[in-house]
Amino acid sequence: MQTLGGNHNVVRLIEGLRYQDQITLVLDYFEHKSFKDYLGYLTVEQIRVYLIRLFSALAHVHSNNIIHRDIKPSNFLFSPETGRSMLVDFGLAQLVDVNTNKFPSHLSDLSANERAAILAKCINNHFRCKSLLQSRRLFGRPVAPRAGTRGFRAPEVLLRVPKQDTALDIWSVGVIMLSLFTGRYPFFVSKDDMSALVEIAAVTGSHELCEVGLEFGKQVTFSSVISKPDLAELCRKLNCTPRTSIPDEAYDLLKKCLSVRPYERPSAQQALDQPFLKS
């Protein structure tokens, strides 16, 4: 927080105090409203401002090689009247080792044909993906961090993929966007990780989740095939707000943020360059 705070809509750490075993952090006061209070009343322009502020804060955080790991509405304070915002709660934040922990050091460096070849070998070898991928040195430590709030955890967190990077924050923004576009919060309400994967499959389709599981050395099996829906159509059907229609450019951004493959999601800076946020 000393590195990040006070800039780009990130809360400033004023002082830290300690008395015996009690630690108190002194932060800037920020007047805002609860997400539930304004969710159903935001205009499309206010949604655009909200996302610009959030992605700007994340671009600043990620540029310092830090994953927030707990992006959710209650950690992004927003005032609809003023358009001001503040990213808070860095209690789960993690510093990324850019040489070993980020996805660009392995899967995203492979071409589509190379990834397809790995997937085919996994299938032909009876899903023995873990040993195959480890032999290619795509994985490191055996235990994956699982921090985050239920309903906002990215697929790679639920699948306990060892290598995780800032892309998991982008997934969480995608979940927030689902609520912004439908007026429904929380959007995902599962009580455990297995149910959470089924909920995600209802948005992304089960086939892609099974494929990305194989890429990361995990076997994911569903009792039945869940077809991938059209996200724009799904959001329109679920929308319970009186606002005008969300533009197609917004749904394009949503689809990119909710890619089950973390290396296919846009960075926070790339998201800011998308048509919906630049218009």
Quickly state the pLDDT bin for 223 (edges 50, 70, 90). Answer: very high
Chain mean pLDDT for the chain: 86
**125, 117 contact by CB (below 8 A):** no
* Active-site amino acid positions: 70
Q: What is the pLDDT of residue 150?
A: 94
Task: Give the single-character DSSP code of 100.
Answer: T
Q: Residue 166 carries which side chain, given as an amino acid letter? A: T
Which residues, including other chains, have CB under 8 Å from residue 182's CB and lie 6 or more apart?
A: 235, 238, 239, 240, 241
Share of the chain above pLDDT 70, in %: 82
Distances (CA, A) of 223 to 162, 191, 207, 219: 26, 19, 12, 13
Mean pLDDT of 1-17: 91
The domain limits of the chain are 34-278
Residue written as tokens 């809509």?
Answer: 9
Q: What is the pLDDT of residue 143?
A: 46
Mean pLDDT of 209-232: 94
**252, 275 contact by CB (below 8 A):** yes
CA separation for the pair 68, 89 (Å, rounded): 8
Among 101-105, 149-153, 263-267, the range scoring the smallest mean pLDDT is 101-105
Could you tell me the CATH superfamily of domain 34-278?
Answer: Transferase(Phosphotransferase) domain 1 (1.10.510.10)
| Count of Cβ atoms closer than 10 Å to residue 19 Cβ | 7
CA-based torsion, 137, 143, 147, 149: positive or negative: positive
Tell whether the model's pLDDT for residue 252 goes beyond 80: yes
**79, 42 contact by CB (below 8 A):** no
Among 86-90, 103-107, 241-245, the range scoring the smallest mean pLDDT is 103-107
Q: What is the pLDDT of residue 268?
A: 98
Share of the chain above pLDDT 90, in %: 75
Mean pLDDT of 42-67: 97
**216, 133 contact by CB (below 8 A):** yes
Residue written as tokens 């306990």?
Answer: 160
